[in-house]
Amino acid sequence: MTIRRLPQTLVNRIAAGEVVERPASVVKELVENALDAGARRIDVTLRDGGRALIAVVDDGRGMSPAELELAVERHATSKLPDDDLVRIRFLGFRGEALPSIGAVARLSLTSRPPGADSAWTLLVEGGEVHAPAPAAAAQGTRVEVRDLFYATPARLKFLKSPRAEFAQAVDTMKRLAMAHPHVAFGLADDGRSAFRVGPAQGELFAARLDRLGAVLGRDFADNAVAVEAEREGFRLTGHAGLPTYNRGTAQQQFLFVNGRPVRDRLLQGAVRAAYDDFLSRDRHAVAALFLDAPPDLVDVNVHPAKAEVRFRDAALVRGLIVSALRHALAGAGHRAATTNAAVALGYAQGGSGGGGGGAMRPSWTPAPDYRREAVLSEAATPYHAPIPGLAALSAPPGAASGSPTAPSAANLGAEEGTHPLGAARAQLHENYIVAQTRDGVVIVDQHAAHERLVYERMKAALANGGVARQALLLPEVVELDEVAAERLGEAAEALAEAGLVLEPFGRGAVVVREVPALLGHADVGGIVRDLADELADQGTTDGLRDRLDALLATMACHGSVRSGRRLGEAEMNALLREMEVTPHSGQCNHGRPTWVELKLADIERLFGRR
């Protein structure tokens, strides 16, 4: 066998495999070309999911006949004027897209630059280029791709159904539309308009939120927090969904670097790390983040598809994203997703939770009679003990500790108007606090809410030098298997920082001498066993101090007020007030909402009054 040069048409078809993977790849390349040409309106039409036709029309700068001929040659581009691959300022720059598309399909380019008397058109069929010819067209460029992969029929077998391919094209258009809010976009398939957004108005930050609301829906705009941070030349902006507004996959995470949509594991990992304290492992955040980076500190020339990037200082970028997201989420305070109310109404109306049979009649527990509670206080067990950390707030001003009096109706009315979570009215099933606001009702999961409050207090204490501890009058011995006991012994120093002091006690046991003061009368044995399981999941005690938050969350779960416990009215109100001033109190440590609000109008709809 002898070495020979491959024909240029075959070379182009081989190279096209890296650039043109499916119809969505063609849409991406052509729309990016239109954006680089300064287009303010881009319309895309597909037929048969992109197999039969992909047409992209823009109102950009257009091309002359000579530029049309150069545009379909490999590695011919106007986007590297000084041949500098370090400072790339355009979406495209490789000069491969049009020749690659022309190598595997029937490609036609019709373009008219400003001031030209007429447009010109150029045809490329299976890599064969025809001479330009005059045509009639408005200023801008129209690119038509017909019979995709007709020159490489084997690739057709790897395409999915027209519906699936069209869905990929829609996703591509949405990502590009998010990155360029001042440009109008339209996408149609077989004559049916599937996606259309007009140009957003105003400065970039506000325009992006409008565009995100138009693309992702108003629910996202209503349940997102603004993200803005800068560090050493890198600037991060965008919007991130509240932890309670989450999804089962990471498909709703949109990441952009210098206006370029990317799918980068470093960035996705940073988002996961930022939400690690709020979401369970099977839930994912919803976010649209835009990173503006110095061109010489990011490499976009990693792959022909330009969907991957490399950063010179990856740790800096990761730290910026994590800290910016956590700061933004902390600023959200007690907010929870507004969609929780819609879910609750769906259950109430028999949507997901509805079924046949008679209506369920909830057990209603009114607010306790505090005079009676005071009489019984001497016989109360720890089951009725004050909420740890809220005892000082349990009594209203002027009332004796342990014998609070119910506020008057007038005071309750004032409280409803001044507090976002309203005034406590009752407790349902010894687990759910019902509070009345000025224009609705708030339902609080007392265990989930208090779990978050205890967790946040423990984190704050740890950051300020250590968690306060209280010694057990009688040290508690906890029986475990030998491996778990040994693992806890190795982690004893880090656990002491979290407020739990224990030591080995023979084979297969540990003795607990001190516990975090915030936990009150917690189940010490349950805490220790769950911590042993948590350490087993981590696989090693190396770097345990970096994972203290996870251990604190486990302890907070045991130290919070339990489901099934009766609370006094003052205790319930104290819980609500602390939720209002505690960051992240809108969701528990597992990402579930701690409260749901139903507006009076929603309740009236349930009864047909609206």
In this prediction, residue 359 carries a pLDDT of 35
Angle at 591 between CA 343 and CA 388, to 5 degrees: 110
Contact in structure between 551 and 534 (CB atoms under 8 Å): yes
What are the residues whose beta carbons fall under 8 Å from the beta carbon of 40, sequence distance 6 or more?
A: 59, 182, 183, 184, 199
Name residue 388's amino acid. P
Average pLDDT along the chain = 79
- Mean pLDDT across the stretch 366-386? 35
In sequence order, the β-bridge partners of residue 142 are: 57, 110
Identify the weakest region by mean pLDDT among 55-64, 263-272, 401-410.
Answer: 401-410
What is the phi/psi pair of residue 66, to 5°?
Answer: -65, -40
Please give the structure tokens belonging to residue 291.
Answer: 């990173």
In the DSSP assignment, the letter for residue 389 is T
Residues 487-525: tens digit of each pLDDT: 888 888 888 887 888 988 888 899 999 888 777 677 788
Can you list the domains of the chain with their CATH numbers? 8-197 (3.30.565.10), 204-331 (3.30.230.10), 363-610 (3.30.1370.100)
Confidence at 384, pLDDT banded by 50, 70, 90: very low
In this prediction, residue 303 carries a pLDDT of 64
Share of the chain above pLDDT 90, in %: 29
Statement: residue 549 has pLDDT above 70: no
In sequence order, the β-bridge partners of residue 440 are: 437, 599
Share of the chain above pLDDT 70, in %: 77
In sequence order, the β-bridge partners of residue 299 are: 310
| 514: exposed, middle or buried (Cβ count in 10 Å: 0-12, 13-18, 19+) | middle
Radius of gyration for the chain, computed over Cα atoms and rounded to the nearest angstrom: 31
Angle at 291 between CA 285 and CA 294, to 5 degrees: 160
- Mean pLDDT across the stretch 431-447? 90
Give the residue with greater pLDDT, 462 vs 311: 311
In this prediction, residue 360 carries a pLDDT of 34
Contact in structure between 278 and 336 (CB atoms under 8 Å): no
Q: How far is CA 11 from CA 8, 127, 129, 437, 577, in A?
A: 5, 10, 15, 70, 69
CA distance linking residue 329 with residue 326, whole number of Å: 5
In this prediction the pTM is: 0.67
Scanning the structure block, which residue is given the tokens 């069209």? 166
What are the residues whose beta carbons fall under 8 Å from the beta carbon of 351, sequence distance 6 or more?
A: none
Q: How far is CA 231 from CA 88, 299, 300, 331, 362, in A?
A: 21, 18, 20, 19, 53
B/e letters for 474-498, b = 16+ CB within 10 Å, e = fewer, are eeeebebeeebbbbbbebeebbbbb
Find the DSSP H helices in 364-472: 370-376, 409-418, 446-463
- Signed CA dihedral, 5, 6, 11, 14: sign only: negative
Please give the structure tokens belonging to residue 293.
Answer: 């980076």
In this prediction, residue 346 carries a pLDDT of 64
Confidence at 110, pLDDT banded by 50, 70, 90: very high
What are the residues whose beta carbons fall under 8 Å from the beta carbon of 385, sequence distance 6 or more?
A: 520, 521
What is the phi/psi pair of residue 549, to 5°?
Answer: -60, -40
Scanning the structure block, which residue is given the tokens 């988002």? 271
Identify the weakest region by mean pLDDT among 119-128, 154-163, 406-415.
Answer: 406-415
Residues 50-79: tens digit of each pLDDT: 999 999 999 999 999 998 988 888 766 665
CA distance linking residue 512 with residue 521, whole number of Å: 14
Start-to-end CA distance of the chain, whole Å, equals: 83
Scanning the structure block, which residue is given the tokens 């129209």? 142
CA distance linking residue 228 with residue 576, whole number of Å: 30
Give the residue with greater pLDDT, 563 vs 593: 593
Contact in structure between 423 and 552 (CB atoms under 8 Å): no
Strand pairing report for 469-479 and 119-125: unpaired
